[in-house]
């Protein structure tokens, strides 16, 4: 609403500048006439450009859509345990700053440009997900859209849409099993500033990963290349370490991660302080044309 009010003011200013240019054109003195017309034209173009990219940003904010799947997740002990492993190794980085999935961390504070406030939601029954259906939670994880159909920008920037249907349902089962904790978090959680909306409209901020409407499956769990690639597909390793894990490049959104191709053998991976989160399953890293399995307990990330 705040951004809409400011946009309305900018549109009014653009109209006022056009009117001022017309008035200046009627001045008899040539110097004052063309100086006034020129100034009004330059300012009008600037303000109109800002209006155009802001309107484009607002359209992008409300342009994301995906259907809500009709499902009811059965909360089995195995499914809850799998969901907990996924939440501990993937979701907790943003949603467990103040407690287990209680949210409250404003990711926007870590962005050097003031593009908005992006507060991780409380995923326990103390938050709004308690009134969401399982299908609505599934859509939020898969496609970054909340129960009211609004864009969850930060969720859509992650790779959670690549989680398999089975793993996504496991997360839902685990979330449903949590006791209420923490405080209510803002609704909506993502609120762009006018600068953020303008940058979004100008293409300087991403519009989120593509919407996924089909089924997503995972390969059998095990110390294999395919399962390791599946883990990398939804984890954010490549956001820091590069598309081929050969190291980050200047200008990327994530921190510059080192070249993981330098890792030689599983023995060098053992560490008491894992850099990417707790490990409970294998992953596979590619080095040149070879694949190396990293077994459970030798850091890296939870599958």
User: String of b and e for 13-44 (b: at least 16 CB within 10 Å)?
Assistant: bbeebeebbeebeeeeeeeeeeebbeebeebb
The pLDDT value recorded for residue 66 is 96
- Count other Cβ atoms within 10 Å, centred on residue 295: 13
- The residues with which 106 forms a beta bridge, in sequence order, are 119
Of 234, 230, 236, 226, the residue nearest 276 (C-alpha): 236
CA 34 to chain centre: 49
The pLDDT value recorded for residue 214 is 92
The pLDDT value recorded for residue 240 is 87
Conformational region of residue 102, where left means phi above 0, alpha means psi within -120 to 50, and beta covers everything else = alpha
Which parts of the chain have pLDDT scores under 50? 266-303
The pLDDT value recorded for residue 4 is 72
The pLDDT value recorded for residue 1 is 58
Q: Output the pTM of the full model.
A: 0.77
């Amino acid at each position: 609403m705040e951004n809409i009010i400011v946009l309305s003011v900018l549109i009014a200013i653009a109209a006022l500048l056009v009117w001022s240019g017309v008035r200046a054109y009627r001045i008899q003195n040539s110097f004052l006439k063309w100086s006034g017309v020129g100034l009004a034209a330059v300012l009008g173009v600037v303000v109109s450009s800002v209006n155009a990219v802001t309107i484009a940003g607002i359209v992008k904010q409300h342009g994301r859509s995906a259907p809500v799947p009709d499902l009811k997740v059965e909360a089995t002990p195995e499914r809850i345990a799998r969901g907990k492993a996924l939440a501990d190794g993937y979701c907790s980085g943003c949603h467990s700053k103040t407690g287990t999935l209680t949210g409250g961390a404003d990711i926007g504070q870590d962005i050097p440009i003031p593009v908005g406030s992006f507060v991780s939601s409380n995923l326990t029954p103390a938050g709004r997900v308690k009134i969401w259906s399982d299908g609505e939670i599934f859509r939020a994880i898969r496609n970054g859209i909340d129960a009211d159909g609004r864009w969850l920008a930060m969720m859509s920037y992650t790779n959670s849409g690549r989680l398999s249907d089975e793993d996504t349902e496991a997360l839902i089962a685990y979330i449903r099993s949590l006791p209420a904790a923490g405080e209510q978090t803002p609704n909506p959680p993502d609120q762009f500033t006018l600068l953020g909306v303008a940058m979004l409209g100008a293409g300087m901020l991403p519009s989120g990963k593509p919407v996924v409407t089909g089924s997503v499956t995972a390969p059998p769990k095990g110390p294999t290349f395919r399962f390791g690639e599946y883990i990398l597909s939804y984890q954010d390793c490549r956001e820091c370490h590069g598309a081929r894990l050969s190291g980050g490049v200047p200008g990327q959104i994530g921190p510059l991660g080192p070249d993981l191709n330098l890792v030689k053998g599983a023995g060098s991976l053992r560490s008491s302080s894992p850099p990417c989160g707790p490990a409970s399953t294998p992953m596979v890293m590619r080095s040149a044309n070879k694949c190396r399995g990293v077994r459970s307990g030798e850091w890296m990330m939870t599958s």
